[in-house]
Amino acid sequence: MSLGCQRPAATTLTVEPSTWVQPRCVSAPPATRLRRLTRLEWQATVKQALAVDVLLDVPDDEGLGFSTVAEAQAASVSLSEKLLEAAEAATAAMNVAALSPCAPSDECAPRFLERLGERLFRRAMTPDELSRLNATWQRVRTTEDVETASRLVTQVMLQSPSFLFRLEGPRVDEPTLLDDDALSTRLAFALTGAGPDEALRSAAQAGALRTREGLRAEAERLLATPAARRTMGRFHVEWLGLSSLTRLSRGAPDGGFEALAPSMEREVAELGAFVVLDDRRLSTLLAGNVTFVDPPLGAHYGFTGLEGDGFRKVSLDGLQRSAVLTAPGVLAAWAKGTGTSPTLRGRFVRERLLCETLPTPPPNVSMTLPPVTAGTTRSRFQQHVADPSCSGCHLLIDPIGFGLERYDETGAFRLVENGRVIDATGEVTRPEGGFRFEGARPLGQWLSEHPAVRACVARQWFRFTMGRAETEGDSCTLDAMTNVLSSTGGDVREALLTLVTSDSFRAVGGAP
């Protein structure tokens, strides 16, 4: 089915094929692409290896909505400069003596370089790598003392492709299974956003990851770590479109949105991690009555009596607020600077929660609507439906967003706009039949029970974890994840464990 930006005879939409078509069940991973560490992965891996906290001041390139997608990652002179600056800051803060297996000296240098290289490269060093690093050490030592040499050679390793990129085994011409080191690296980054810890390295070296049972056991162990909570949270921040929230302006300049934006992002991360690791029900994310706030964000919600610092779980009333669809950060991210946008919010539901593909507007269509001076946003956006060149698309998008109009561009609840009562009735049009609703809660309940949403959630986790789009060869993995979500009442943790023990996860494609 096709969707065009013109008035159709009947409202239709384009859905990604695997939602509706059962493809041939095969397992053939696509050609491997190098994946560079994301900003947060770089920071976490440096902390893991060097025990220092350093910020990498670069924006992440996003593809398919995620920073982990290799195809979207670009290289530039500016990026190289930032990586150098961050490497200098990291090595300036490192404790050389604490990281060295022996007293820092020329005699100890080979052992120091080998130990640190294994941590940074996430595998055993090759003889050629050790030889070249030792030669670099000797050159540096002609002018520098031992401690300075230790820092400078560590900078060299921090700028090596073996550190900056996730090299998943040797270059091969045909698809094959990952080797032990590469599989441990893929598993660690998938679940913790950093390289393998000592326990995972040991399990890999002992061959424990070569069985699904051993792989699952290590995955379950990693999911119990604080790093996994951060990674689960990060997935939800990127999936739901909040990556740039702290760089946006919403509402009046002095309305306090900028101060609240970091808390809004943190709320979604905390809720997402709770759903995956504790509650384990997708319905809690989409239609539940709990969230996580700190006192400033709680005041934005209308909570009183919250004291102290930090986030805490709170109960929602289920009327004004219900789960992630009413999270201020989500509502603000999918709005305009000085007003709401039913189009953006409808697109959010279509693309991020249902995995539907929507076309871009034709180039000759005006995107400008009258300013908000009177009436409601709904009445202004009705012009989309009146324009024959736009109605085909907007009949699919705007009615969903109309159902979220009781929340302004900062995510604050409201019943009235410009003196007029807000009409929050909406509709989701689907090939199998539409769904009419009023307000966010019934929409969230419908989404939490819809098969297309479960399939979409599986797909989004796949893209984030694998760093690429799915192919026909991944159909078995995606089907298995979707079936787990359907049979367990939406247990996202179990679906994620299904992914990391799948053939898609354990295999590597041939050379491009």
Q: How confident is the model at residue 372 (pLDDT cuts 50, 70, 90)?
A: low
Residue 507 falls within a domain, yes or no?
no
**The predicted structure's pLDDT at residue 176:** 84
Judge if 239 and 154 occupy the same domain.
Answer: no
Same domain, 260 and 129: no
Domain contains 56: yes
Residues near 171 by beta carbon (within 8 Å), at least 6 away in sequence = 511
Question: Is there a single domain that holds both residue 266 and residue 367?
Answer: yes
Q: Are residues 273 and 146 in the same domain?
A: no
pLDDT exceeds 60 at position 17:
no
Query: How does residue 119 score in pLDDT terms, banded at 50, 70 and 90?
Result: very high
* Residue 96 forms part of a structural domain: yes
Instruction: Please list, in sequence order, all residues whose beta carbon lies within 8 angstroms of the beta carbon of residue 99, skipping any fewer than 6 positions away.
Output: 50, 51, 112, 115, 116
Block residue for tokens 């076309």: 359
Burial state string for 362-378 with b = 16 or more CB within 10 A and e = fewer than 16: eeeeeeeeeeeeeebbb
Q: 434 with 285, same domain?
A: yes
DSSP 273-306: HHIIIII--HHHHHH-SEEEE-HHHHHHHT--S-
Does residue 396 sit in the same domain as residue 286? Answer: yes
Q: Which two tokens stand for residue 170?
A: 């040797």
Q: Residue ranges of the alpha helices (H) in 94-175? A: 96-99, 109-121, 127-140, 146-158, 161-164
Segments forming the whole domain that contains residue 89: 35-167
Cα within 13 Å of Cα(177), Cβ side: 11
Q: What DSSP character marks residue 122?
A: T
For the chain, give me the number of helices (H) and strands (E)? 23, 12
Residue closest to 96 by CA, chosen among 56, 154, 144, 159 = 154
Average of per-residue pLDDT across 476-483: 96
Alpha carbon distance 334, 332 (integer Å): 5
- 291 with 419, same domain? yes
In a domain, 227, yes or no: no
Q: Are residues 160 and 240 in the same domain?
A: no
Q: Over 90: is that where the pLDDT of 379 sits?
A: no
pLDDT for res 9: 35
Asked whether residue 481 is assigned to any structural domain, the reply reads: no
Give per-residue pLDDT as tens, 139-171.
999 999 999 999 999 999 999 999 999 977 666
Domain check: are 252 and 330 in the same one? yes
Rounded-to-integer distance, Cα 2 and Cα 24, Å: 23
Rounded to two decimals, the pTM is 0.92
Distance of CA 197 to the CA centre of its chain: 22
Structure tokens at 141: 């030592």
Q: Is residue 489 part of a domain?
A: no
**pLDDT at position 125 over 80:** yes
pLDDT of 136 > 90? The answer is: yes
Choose one of 422, 448, 474: the last residue of a domain: 448
How many Å apart are CA 162 and CA 356, to the nearest integer?
A: 37
Residues 339 and 434 in one domain: yes
Q: How many CB atoms lie within 10 A of CB 213?
A: 9
Higher pLDDT, 168 or 319: 319
How many other C-beta atoms lie within 10 A of the C-beta of residue 97?
A: 11
Tens of pLDDT along 23-76?
345 567 788 788 999 999 999 999 999 999 999 999 999 999 999 999 999 999
Q: Are residues 324 and 429 in the same domain?
A: yes
- The token pair that represents 143 in the structure block: 């002018």
Q: Which of 133, 150, 167 marks a domain boundary?
A: 167
pLDDT at 21 over 70: no
- Residue 14 pLDDT level (bands cut at 50, 70, 90): very low
Domain count, the chain: 2
Cα torsion for 292, 425, 243, 380, to the nearest 10°? -140
- pLDDT number for residue 374: 62
Expressed in percent and rounded to 5, the helix, strand and coil fractions of the chain are: 55, 5, 40
Residue 477 lies in a domain: no
Distance CA 272, CA 280 (A): 10
**By mean pLDDT, which of 54-63, 165-174, 301-310, 463-472 is the weakest?**
165-174
How far is 431 from 15, CA to CA, in rounded Å? 10
Q: How far is CA 201 from CA 182, 195, 208, 218, 333, in A?
A: 10, 9, 10, 10, 39
User: Taking residues 377-396, what's their average pLDDT?
Assistant: 75
pLDDT of residue 22 exceeding 70, the answer is no
**Cα 46–chain centre separation:** 20
Residue 174 domain flag: no
Write down the pLDDT at residue 387: 67
Cα dihedral 101/106/111/113 (nearest 10): 100
Rg (CA), the chain: 25
Q: Are residues 247 and 351 in the same domain?
A: yes
